[in-house]
Amino acid sequence: MIQGTQSRKYVQLFVSVCLLTLTACAPPRPNHPVIGAKNFTEQVILGELLAQEIEARSHLKVERRFYLAGSYICHQALVAGRIDAYVEYTGTALTAILKQPLDRDPDSVLKTVRALYASRYHVTTADPLGFENTFAMVIRGDDADRLHLRTLSEAARYTPQWKLGVGYEFEQRPDGLGGLSAAYGLHFDGAPRTMDLGLLYRALTAHQVDMIAANSTDGPIQALHLAALADDRHYFPPYQAVPLVRDEALARWPEIRSALQALAGRVTADDMRSMNEAVDGQHRDAAEVVREFRQNKRL
């Protein structure tokens, strides 16, 4: 009995020491919100947009922690409390983070993402910012105007005379070329030309190809006067940009909620293309570009 009591005391002491050690090693809680972003231009712009809007609507100084690699790293940082918010894309959240089946209905995806982040991680999914960053089939603007093309369905009658350019991934992935061709009945002049993503726009403007598989918010679409054809049959999964924010942060700093509400629906795909091009193509500072955007939007 004495030995049992002593053993329990030793166990309790060991647990206490472990807890103290874990507490000592835990990251300190900053007395200000921390906004994160992945490691590409659009994400830095969106992180800066969140940070500036929070600062403008509160007395708070916001810390930026950008270039956090991909979705998994940002998610881990959010759950661990090392960042308080970042912008994710609903399709990525659904499949890559939450491991749910593919769903092509935007409202259904958003509903699922909201429910699972809330129940699993105590994270609020704010209203979408207003744009998607998804795949886009892009053609030259003069071709779109001359043929009066706005949608992929309208373009299908012309594609047998067109050459297609794609990246390596798009040709292989399940939501890529094979399914797209079947959904729209697309046929092209010869096999698709596969190339690095950075070469696609050059090939299109040089008339080496007539259509490319790009990203819907790429800066060159606007800068080069190209046309992104509407996915009118909703083949591609939805990738709405949504801020994710820790519930604890919303309770601690209620001003964050009003900032997110102010940004809801205010960023169009054209806005995002323009800002991406300003940073990538014109080499402007992201913070300056965001300030100009907010001024123009009267935020």
| Alpha-carbon span 45 to 117, nearest angstrom | 24
Q: Tell me the C-alpha distance between 58 and 253, whole Å.
A: 9
Using one digit for the tens of pLDDT, what is the confidence trace for 238-260? 999 999 999 999 999 999 999 99
Confidence band of 174 (pLDDT split at 50, 70, 90):
low
pLDDT in tens, 98-115: 999 889 899 999 999 999
Distance between CA 57 and CA 71 in Å, rounded? 27
pLDDT confidence band for 6 (50 / 70 / 90): very low
Q: What is the pLDDT of residue 245?
A: 98
- CA 22-26-29 angle, to 5 degrees, is 145
Q: Is the pTM of this model over 0.75?
A: yes
Provide the angle, in degrees to the nearest 10, between the axes of the packed helices 41-56 and 269-280: 110
Residue 132: φ, ψ to 5°: -115, 150
Report pLDDT for 3. Answer: 39
Tokens read off for 203: 């090939």
Give the pLDDT mean for 271-277. Answer: 94
Instruction: Tell me the average pLDDT across 130-144.
Output: 95
